Amino acid sequence: MKNIYLDTRLLELFCCVYEKGSIAKSVNCLHLSQSTISFHINQLEKSIGLKLFYRKGRRLVPTSNAHILYPYAKKILELKLLALEEIKLISGSYKGHIRIGASSVPGTYLLPDILGDYLANNPNSSVEVIVEDSMKILSMVEEGNVDMGFIGFRCTNPDLEVFEMWEDTIHFVGSKGIPKNLSLDDLLKYPFILREASSGTRKFVENLLKTKGIDLRDLNIIAVVDKNHVILSLLRKVQAISFVSSYALRDKKGLQVIRVMDLEPIKRNFYLIYDRKRPQSPAVRLFIDQMLQRSLSKSTTNKKIKLM
């Protein structure tokens, strides 16, 4: 069998084309012409003796060989990046970069102060924060698109480390004029505004209501939105009810918190998650350590979740 040489630059190019599904769509991230990308893909295929893509109409379809190579190529590139960061750390030229995914409450209300303190104490570091709903952040962590995530429900993926970080209270909130005390049956009478289906807050409340015999489809839903501040803005304009995190209720002007009998208080946690098998750069390790230490110093739960 001939010796196979894997050029990491070609592997970077392969991963980009594989992820984008098109040579044309890979131009921007690779900063190369389509003809140059095609040439290098052919070079990689020749060096390993396997076909990686084939054309089907205008689409570039990965072969089974590409599906096998891709996860290994990603690991090789991650190890290369980690090695370079360790070398830079030793040589004193290190500039760490951290990619964080966060659901709306941690990303909007909890992380900004923490990141500000971290960057002030680590001026050579940089941070990229992506705010999406909890399900999207979970997927990004599982797929290796971020170094860590902060989500609003306890996931069960055994490949992930999971830590309780912050406790939260979910409040029902309504427009002025709606009674401050309601029964469960009263919830069905008023117009209702919901978070999107993949929201961790919505999933938590949905499961809780089910234990009380109420399905979300029983509610008089007039809007579904993906941001807490949009919900609060709508509630100031229309007579309706919704539920939001206590962190989102720092500005309650024009609104009132509603007590629903048999549903108070509604407590939940936010969790730090990361892939235990993913190589971590020094910056990522430092940030996670400081997050856990900060959480402990403020007497929050910070409990590692054991998954069966």
Instruction: Give the pLDDT score at 77.
Output: 87
Instruction: Give the pLDDT score at 8.
Output: 85
Instruction: Give the pLDDT score at 93.
Output: 47
Instruction: Give the pLDDT score at 285.
Output: 85
CA distance 216 to 191: 12
Instruction: Give the pLDDT score at 270.
Output: 93
CA distance 282 to 191: 50
Instruction: Give the pLDDT score at 300.
Output: 43
The answer to whether the beta carbons of residues 289 and 257 sit under 8 Å apart is no
Q: Is 293 exposed, middle or buried (0-12, 13-18, 19+ CB in 10 A)?
A: exposed
Instruction: Give the pLDDT score at 91.
Output: 52
Furthest-apart CA pair in the chain: how many Å? 79
Instruction: Give the pLDDT score at 302.
Output: 47
Question: For the segment 254-299, what is each residue's pLDDT rounded down to a tens digit?
Answer: 899 999 988 878 899 999 999 988 888 778 888 998 888 877 655 4
Phi, psi of 150 (to 5 degrees): -125, 115
Q: Which domains does the chain have, with CATH numbers?
A: 8-90 (1.10.10.10), 94-166+269-297 (3.40.190.10), 167-267 (3.40.190.290)
CA 181-183-186 angle, to 5 degrees, is 100
Question: For the segment 40-64, what is each residue's pLDDT rounded down to a tens digit?
Answer: 888 888 888 889 998 887 778 899 9
Instruction: Extract the residue ranges of the chain whose pLDDT is less than 50.
Output: 93, 299-302, 306-308
Instruction: Give the pLDDT score at 299.
Output: 47
